Amino acid sequence: MIWLIPFLFLLILIRVPIAFALGFVSMVGIMLTDPGLLVNIPRRIFSGINSFTLVAVPLFILAGEIMTKGGISQRLIRFSQMIVGWLPGGLAMVIIVASMFFSALTGTAIAAAAAIGGMMIPAMRKEGYDDRFSASLVATSATIGPIIPPSIVLILFGVMASVSIGDLFIAGVVPGVLMGVGLMVYCLIIGIKNGNKSREGLPNMKEFLLGFKDALLALIMPLIILGGIISGVFTATESGVIAVVYAIIVGTLVYKELKLKDLSIILLNTAKTTASIVFLIGNAALFIWLLTYHQIPQQMIEMLGPVADNAILLLLVINVILLIAGTFIDTISAVSIFTPLFLPLILAAGIDPVHFGIIMAVNLTIGMVTPPLGVCLFVTAKIAKIKVPAMFPYLIPQILILIAVLIVITYIPQVTMFLPEFMQNFGVE
């Protein structure tokens, strides 16, 4: 039954929606195994989505939608400009810093690309930046979204791998910051080369404090979410409720930019996105059950032979597979497909599943800026009114920077595991 895996990828390559491909392959496999097992399909699908932790997914999607409409992104951009706008290439760095802040609020790359790109690409055009550079930078910096907590990708991985969501969130902080720093160094080099600055000199204390005050409520939210999870005050799922309530209060009562008429659109968008994710997870659960029933992960371990026993070689092979897969499979679908395939392998090789979760997330988010899928590229290309291939001269070095960070976190586990282990050593869950 190991032929089910290439059959699945064949369906994906001919553009069958991934959720339907997973369901179809599973049904074919079950019919060939024992038609009597077809009665298990509804139960297996329901058991896959019957998880309290998954409630966090629609909550964080809803919180992100509210924040986008509630004026939070504009304030984060203005504060980011206070921090780095005076440096060479400062306006480009503003995109990255704002993306890191925005990522800590929404946990999704596409939301960051759309919200920040809509404001920053026109602003950079006025400052003389090339649209190709601006659009590619917005797209690559948006990939930090699924790494810095909260992260929908890490929630899904945690559910499927039975790994602590809190540990995954904490482990994503340093890799996410490294991605941002790497891109900022690139912007600094470009800025020095081209003589780009968005403002003259450091902001004075009064300007900085005013900007900080304006953005303070937006900046506090990720601290509340992560601090609450780390201290054990609430779970990762409950933090989604906190995020929604906080976003509504700030958007309506403080910033007063969130209107009642916006809620219907926000709820509709949240429902559409959540429905597609839940349908995918249900079909993935059925596929996972079939793989387990036929012991396909164990067969893969036997096929890989010595590679499966060598953590360095195994991670290299997995990285290459995930980087390639990310070019034509969206992030959430890829997590659903590859987690059950690779988890037994990495556990057998003695690799920490939390470490592997971050490796997988970084791999697949790089795919969000890699053609032909590259969904973030299409978002920013539309905003900049350019063709995706036009970005390639600037996009390639940015992707290479992200791959360099991936190599570091893959082969230096302490980079990823330092914070979770630090918290555990001090008795913080």
Half-sphere exposure of 46 (CA within 13 A, CB side): 5
pLDDT at 24: 92
Find the angle CA(357)-CA(340)-CA(243) to the nearest 5 degrees.
Answer: 45
pLDDT at 199: 57
pLDDT of 370 over the 90 cut? no
Kindly state the average pLDDT of the residues 404-427: 87
Q: Name the residue with higher pLDDT: 398 or 118.
A: 398
pLDDT of 200 over the 60 cut? no
pLDDT at 115: 75
Task: Tell me how long the chain is.
Answer: 429
Kindly state the average pLDDT of the residues 365-389: 86
Separation of first and last alpha carbons in the chain: 41
pLDDT at 399: 95
Kindly state the average pLDDT of the residues 265-277: 88
50/16 Cα distance (integer angstroms): 26
| b (16+ CB within 10 A) / e for 355-382 | bbbbbbbbbbbbbbbbeebbbbbebbbe
pLDDT of 146 over the 70 cut? yes
pLDDT of 201 over the 70 cut? no
Q: How confident is the model at residue 67 (pLDDT cuts 50, 70, 90)?
A: confident
Kindly state the average pLDDT of the residues 260-267: 86
Give me the phi and psi of 247, to 5 degrees please: -65, -40
Side chain identity at 265, as an amino acid letter?
Answer: I
What DSSP string runs through 239-293?
HHHHHHHHHHHIIIIIS----HHHHHHHHHHHHHHHHHHHHHHHHHHHHHHHHHH
pLDDT at 360: 95
Dihedral angle sign, alpha carbons of residues 414, 418, 422, 423: negative
- Kindly report whether the global pTM for this prediction surpasses the value 0.85: no
Place of tokens 């019957």: 50
| 3-state SS class at 300 | helix
pLDDT tens-place string over residues 80-122: 778 777 778 788 888 888 888 776 666 667 777 877 888 788 8
pLDDT tens-place string over residues 171-198: 999 999 999 999 999 988 888 887 766 5
Q: Which two tokens stand for residue 342?
A: 């690779």
Q: How confident is the model at residue 426 (pLDDT cuts 50, 70, 90)?
A: low
pLDDT at 35: 87
pLDDT at 174: 93
On whether the CB atoms of residues 301 and 308 are closer than 8 A, the answer is yes
Max distance between CA atoms of the chain, in angstroms, equals: 74
pLDDT of 353 over the 90 cut? yes
Kindly state the average pLDDT of the residues 265-291: 87
The domains of the chain are located at: 47-425
* C-beta atoms surrounding 223 within 10 Å: 10
Count helices and strands in the chain by DSSP H and E runs: 22, 0
Q: How confident is the model at residue 334 (pLDDT cuts 50, 70, 90)?
A: confident
134/340 Cα distance (integer angstroms): 37
Kindly state the average pLDDT of the residues 150-175: 89
Q: Name the residue with higher pLDDT: 305 or 228.
A: 228
Half-sphere exposure of 371 (CA within 13 A, CB side): 11
Place of tokens 């959430």: 332
- Using a 10 angstrom Cβ sphere, with 0-12 exposed, 13-18 middle and 19 or more buried, the burial of residue 46 is exposed
- Averaged pLDDT of the chain: 84
Kindly state the average pLDDT of the residues 373-379: 82
pLDDT tens-place string over residues 321-333: 898 888 878 788 8
pLDDT tens-place string over residues 38-55: 888 898 888 888 888 788
